[in-house]
């Protein structure tokens, strides 16, 4: 998402957020990029520079561990975020 400190481009998107197990569909601002490479660099910077994600980076050997650490660090509000991420990665890996 594009927090208050984000100075780059934004895209406003209706998304699903969970608070206390209840889903809502707010319009949120997300970071927007000129290229996939720019987005990947910013994602890597976010994870490496924010102490909140330190345990995530310790999970580099395990897709499941990485996904669970992202979820437990508060990266996403969806209670099934880690499960969904692992499923998507599994599907992509079978195509490779």
17 has catalytic annotation: yes
**Which listed residue (12, 17, 34, 58) is catalytic?**
17
DSSP state of 5: T
Per the residue annotation, which of 28, 38, 42, 78 is the catalytic one? 42
Residues in Cβ contact with 34 at an 8 Å cutoff, skipping those fewer than 6 apart: 9
Q: Which residues are catalytic?
A: 17, 42
């Amino acid at each position: 998402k594009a927090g208050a400190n984000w100075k780059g481009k934004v895209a406003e998107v209706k998304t699903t957020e969970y608070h206390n197990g209840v889903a809502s569909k707010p319009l949120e601002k997300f970071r927007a990029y000129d290229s996939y490479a720019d987005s990947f660099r910013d994602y890597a910077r976010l994870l490496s520079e924010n102490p909140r994600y330190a345990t995530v980076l310790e999970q580099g050997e395990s897709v499941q561990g990485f996904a669970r650490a992202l979820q437990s660090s508060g990266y996403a509000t969806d209670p099934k975020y880690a499960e969904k991420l692992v499923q998507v990665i599994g599907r992509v890996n079978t195509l490779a």
